[in-house]
Each structure stands twice: as C-alpha cells, then as structure tokens.
Amino acid sequence: MKADKFKFFREMTLRICSSLDIEEALTRAFEYLGKFIPADTISLSYVDTDNRHMFPVAMVAREGFTALWDELFTPVPLDDEFLQFVLEKETQDHFISTYNSPNGLPEAVIRCFPDLKSRSSIGINLMIRDEQIGVLIISADGLNRYTTEHTALLESIKEPIALAMSNTRRYTELKRVKDLLDEDNRSLIADFERVSGSEVIGGDFGLREVMEMVRRVAPSGSPALLLGETGTGKEIIANAIHMASPRRDGPMIRMQCGAIPETLLDSELFGHEKGAFTGASERKRGRFERANGGTLFLDEIGELSLDAQVKFLRVLQEKQFERVGGIQTISVDTRVIAATHRDLEQMVQDGLFREDLWYRLNILPIRIPPLRLRRDDIPSMALYFVQRKAHEMNLEITPQIDESTMERLKKYDWPGNVRELQNIVERALILSQGNVLSIPPLAPLKSRPQQNAVTDATTIQTMDEAIAEHIRRTLEQTNGRVAGSDGAAKILQMNPSTLRFRMKRLGITLSKTQRSLT
C-alpha cells in the first residue's frame, strides 16, 4: 500500500505518543507501520554513550509484545567501532541506515538481536539535542526487503519517535522509583508503629553500661551482637545504636529470624526475581537490599539454619549477594545488628551455629541484663507504660500506682522481663476503675532453671515435669526423631500421634535442626 507521507507522519505520531506505556505505544505503532513498510519485528534499545553500553528495552513481533529491559539486565558493551559508526552518522546527518543483508550491521546490534543475521533491517538513531538516546530497529524476513521509499517515510517520524521514547523512558524510571519508595514507605511505617515510644528507659541507671557500649559501638560500621533474655528490649537497643550512628538517616529494617519459614528465608533476606518460584508474580527486594545505606536488625539470629548461616556469612564478608532466581550480583552497604536470647557459644560447641559466623558477629557484643537485675528501673518503666498505654487507650484519667503496688512490682522476679511488665500494666489498665491502678497479685518468685541443668536429688518433680524431662531425654537420644523404627515413640512404646499430642501439651518443642530430621 502506497502511503501519503503527511498522513503517515500524523498517524504514526498519534500512535507513538498515545501512551507513556511502552507496550501500548510500540504495539500500536507496529500495527500501523506494517501496512506500508515490511515489518516482522520492531525493537527498541536505549544507548548510553557515556558509559559505552546499550540496553535492549522491548520488541514487538507478530506474536506479540516482549519486554527486554530490566534494571538488572546485563548491558551490551559498545566498542570503538560502534561508537565511530554512530559519530559518522551524526556528522553526516544520516540517522537512518538500511541493511538489506546482514553485511555492515554493527556487532553490538547483532549481539542484542542475533535474529537480524537472516533479515533485512532498518535502524533509526534516536537523537535529542544532538545526543543519541536509543536505536529503533525494524526488520523483515528475507533479504532486499527495503527501498528508498521506506527510508523516506521513516525519516519523517524519527523526531517524534525520539521524543516519545525519551518521555516513556523517564516515565518508566519514575514509576520504578515510585514503586521502590512506596515499598520502603510501607515498611518504615510498619517499623515505626512497632517501635514508637521506644525510648531507652533506665539508660541512666540499670542500663548505664549498656548505653555506654551503644555510644562506643554506634559510630562504627561493624556488626553488633545483642545478647539477653527474651523481653529485655534488644530491639530498642538496636534502634538506639542505629539512631546514634552515621546511618541514622538511612533505613532501619527488621526481621524476626524465627518467624520466617525455612523455604522463604532466602527470599526474605536477599529478595527474588519474578517467576523465581511458584507465587513470585513480581520482583521483590530482600531485607539486605532494602537496608542499603542503613541498618538491618536480625532478631533471634540463633534460629537460622546452618545453610542460611553460610549465605548470611558471605553477605557479611563480601557485602554482595544474588536475588533468588537472579544472576546479577548486587552490592550493598548494610550494617547488621544481630540479637539472640540463646547461648551462641554453646551452640557452636554443639555444632548448631557456625564458628566463623560467631566470630564475625561477636566483634562488639552487648549483653543486656534482665529486669530482675535492675530493679531500680522498674518504677520509671511502669510509670512510662502507664502513661503511654493510657494515651493509646484514650483514657480520660491516667491511673496512678501507689507505693505498696510499686513495691510488689520491684520484688517480683519478672521472668518475661520488660515485655511482661508492659503486658501486666496494659492488662491492669483495661481492668482498672478509678484513679489508682489495681494490679492483681503476681506469681511467687521462682528460681530460674538453667538449661541442661540436672534435677537436684532433693527436688520433687510433678508428674508432668518428670514425663516432660523423660521425653526430652529420649528425643535428644533420637536427634529429635519422633516416628519410625529409631524414633522416640518406638522407644517409649507410644503411638507417634499420641507422643506428639503429649509433647504439645507439655510445651516440648524441637529445634530447627531436630525438625529437619523428623
């Protein structure tokens, strides 16, 4: 079909500029172009002459649209021959080149689109203000498919194409940055809600030595290790380190290692590419990548499997990783703060924690004392929680704690530490009426059993305690295996289902290493 040059210019411009979406604009242009010019494919590439690279972006063929560009796509390097070729075209104002045979095609173009070796093609250098921003290539099967008339038609639309492609590229980049910012914003909002009101109460008293260590540790970029019982406020100390460090303006990303299933751990830490596994419908950045320039807080680091510890150690040492399903190495500048209530040194001896990772994390250990060893902090903490929770609950009157109640709080052993104190205060506020906070009697003090301690001969156990201890010893003997010919159920002469039910009732849990063997 013979084309009217002015109508062709108008219709192609309308289609090219009809949408900022590259798929829609390129597809509509391809459909109209094919009525006047042989076209089996039309492909777009961006050119970065400063860094000497070309990035394939998209291609439309008769089978449909194909997105080629990716922020991690390996760019095609531009050699001196290709750059000289572009310079000559610019100097001669010949921005359109016809290749009715593969002879003469720049090697960089063939590396991007190897199918052009068996086709005729026309290349359009997309220029804005004498700067090349990209290349549009139209190809058709067979040789000698293009004429000077085809070239003349394309000559008329080279400028609208260049402007449209430049706008589309900027729109795509802005959209990608916006999506990343939205993701970070959602994460930061969630993190802020978790740590709002996380002032370090007791920094001048029971936590004086801890805060002194925080001040020393914060300026460095080395990993920090927080040790302490559950509920002592390790996350608050981690936040204090971050806010006192040069990274305070960067993100503070948190992850509870024990809450992530083993199958999803790599994805959570390192991210994944679209299609990397079932359900991976889009690319996701991992915690390390999101914490770039800031701090990554890994709570309960002792829950990581040995396999995950190997990968984690590599990132600590090299500050590089690959997303799940990806091939591009990503470099990050992320500071790691790890925390655990477990005895990592004992876990190293038991073969449950890698020794090299232990030494890497144990550079700046900070041990947070339990609440029972800093009883002078209890009054200020209790008052703080009363005021904060009363505000959150929109109470008209903030109840006060009388002296006798405060003395009871100070004498209590607090096995759940600060978290238990916070929960008791909140429960009391819900149940209390009047100006005085009523806190019911607390459980009597009990000596805290040590892990792996042998039962004293003078201590009389309850039946449940004796059964639980017997089951635990049997599970240790079978490395956590419950069923099977060498399982604990066989030794105890019990049905495996009955044993599991009994374990659940008695609160007996298996370590991750033991669960992998069951």
**Minimal CA–CA distance to 286: which of 270, 309, 264?**
270
* Max mean pLDDT range (85-99, 181-195, 348-362): 348-362
* pLDDT reading at 432 higher than 50: yes
Predicted pLDDT of residue 453: 37
Residue 384 sits in the same domain as residue 341:
no
* pLDDT for res 458: 42
Which pLDDT value is given to residue 24? 82
pLDDT band at 253 (very low <50, low <70, confident <90, very high): very high
pLDDT of 361 reads 92
Same domain, 168 and 204: no
Domain boundary among 367, 389, 408: 367
Do 10 and 108 sit in the same domain of this protein? yes
> What is the predicted pLDDT for the residue at 72?
40
Q: Report the domain count for the chain.
A: 4
475 assigned to some structural domain: yes
Concatenating the DSSP letter of every residue in 381-419 gives HHHHHHHHHHHHTT-SS--B--HHHHHHHHHS--TTHHH
Q: Residue 293: which pLDDT band, with cuts at 50, 70 and 90?
A: very high
Helical segments of 196-261, H only: 208-217, 234-243
Winning range, highest mean pLDDT, from 51-60, 114-123, 152-161, 244-253 = 244-253
Residues 284, 404, single domain; the answer is no
d(CA 380, CA 386): 10
Which CATH number is 93's domain given?
3.30.450.40
pLDDT given at position 195:
47
pTM of the model: 0.54
Distance CA(312)–CA(305), nearest Å, equals 10
Q: Are residues 136 and 41 in the same domain?
A: yes
Crossing angle of helices 496-506 and 463-477, in 10° steps, is 120
pLDDT tens for each residue of 338-356: 999 999 989 999 888 999 9
Query: What percent of the chain shows pLDDT beyond 90?
Result: 15
In a domain, 183, yes or no: no
Do 16 and 153 share a domain, yes or no?
yes
- Check whether residue 34 and residue 134 sit in a common domain: yes
Q: Is the domain of 69 the same as that of 122?
A: yes
CA distance to 4, 37, 119, 268, 400, per residue, from 30 (Å): 17, 10, 17, 40, 75
Amino acid, res. 455:
T
Identify whether residues 16 and 135 lie together within a single domain.
yes
The one-letter amino acid code at 78 reads: L
pLDDT, average across residues 310-314: 90
pLDDT recorded at residue 193: 46
- R_g over Cα of the chain: 33
Neighbouring C-beta atoms of residue 34, cutoff 10 Å: 17
One-character DSSP codes across 265-315? HHHHHHEE-TTSSTT--S-EE-HHHHTTTSEEEEE-GGGS-HHHHHHHHHH
Reduced to 3 states, what is the DSSP secondary structure of residue 137? strand
In this structure, is residue 347 part of a structural domain? yes
pLDDT for the residue 87? 60
> Bigger pLDDT: 346 or 100?
346
Residue carrying structure tokens 């914060």 = 218
Backbone angles phi, psi at 181, to 5 degrees: -65, -40
For 319-390, where are the E strands, in sequence order? 320-322, 329-331, 335-340, 365-367
Q: Is residue 233 part of a domain?
A: yes
Are both 58 and 102 inside the same structural domain? yes
The reply to whether 458 falls in a domain is: no
Checking if the pLDDT of 176 tops 90, the result is: no
In a domain, 455, yes or no: no
Shared domain for 290 and 410, answered yes or no, is: no
Residue 147 in 3-state DSSP?
Answer: coil
Q: Does residue 180 fall inside a structural domain?
A: no
Q: What pLDDT does 188 receive?
A: 59
Mean pLDDT, the chain, as a whole number?
A: 80
What residues make up the domain containing 473? 463-515
Domain boundary among 313, 336, 367: 367
Give residue-wise pLDDT tens across range 370-391.
998 888 889 988 998 898 888 8
DSSP string, 98-109: EESSSTT--HHH
pLDDT of residue 89: 58
Report the CATH number that the domain containing residue 396 is assigned in CATH: 1.10.8.60
50 found inside a domain: yes
Q: How far is CA 308 from the centre of its chain?
A: 15
The position carrying tokens 């505000």 is 391
The highest-confidence range among 45-54, 62-71, 476-485, by mean pLDDT, is 476-485
pLDDT of amino acid 205:
63
Max mean pLDDT range (34-43, 340-349, 435-444, 451-460):
340-349
User: Could you tell me if 278 and 227 lie in one domain?
Assistant: yes
The Cα–Cα gap between 159 and 65 comes to: 23
Round to whole Å and give the CA distance between 518 and 513.
9
